Amino acid sequence: MTTSYYEPQDLERFAEIGKDAPELARKFFDYYGAVFAEGELTGREKALIALAVAHAIQCPYCIDAYTTSCLEKGSNLGEMTEAVHVANAIRGGASLVHGIQMRKAAEKLSL
């Protein structure tokens, strides 16, 4: 079995998501473009955030796209790797802090 649910070429077809619901797609892509425009944060900083989020949500298309984008916006591999650690720390921390829920539930049930 060599096929996969994820095909790298599908990223280039992203715009096809506008078929059958063009108005919603237009709203999304306009918003997306506005989010990534230079603002208080630079385009380079936004690409690093996107790279970290892509790892948190584990989207291979976004990882691919924002790895290229980070490199083309002048981030180096040290910065990109640190961004992935930030995503990891938040993900890990978020799981761990929910451990308090577990402890509270266990306390309630326990003698």
Distance CA 69, CA 62 (A): 10
How many CB atoms neighbour CB 69 within 10 A?
19
Interface residue with another protein among 65, 73, 84, 86 (CB under 8 A) is 73
Residue 2 beta carbon to another protein: minimum distance, rounded to whole angstroms: 17
Residues from 29 through 58 that contact another protein (CB under 8 A): 42-44
71 touching another protein, by CB under 8 A = yes
Nearer to another protein, 8 or 92 (CB): 8
Please tell me the chain's helix, strand, coil percentages from 3-state DSSP, rounded to the nearest 5.
80, 0, 20
Instruction: Tell me which stretch binds another protein (CB under 8 A): 53-61, 74-82, 83-91, 95-103.
Output: 74-82
How many CB atoms neighbour CB 87 within 10 A?
18
Nearer to another protein, 16 or 72 (CB): 72
Residues from 75 through 104 that contact another protein (CB under 8 A): 76-79
Residue 56 beta carbon to another protein: minimum distance, rounded to whole angstroms: 23
**Binding footprint of another protein on the chain (CB under 8 A):** 42-44, 68, 71-74, 76-79
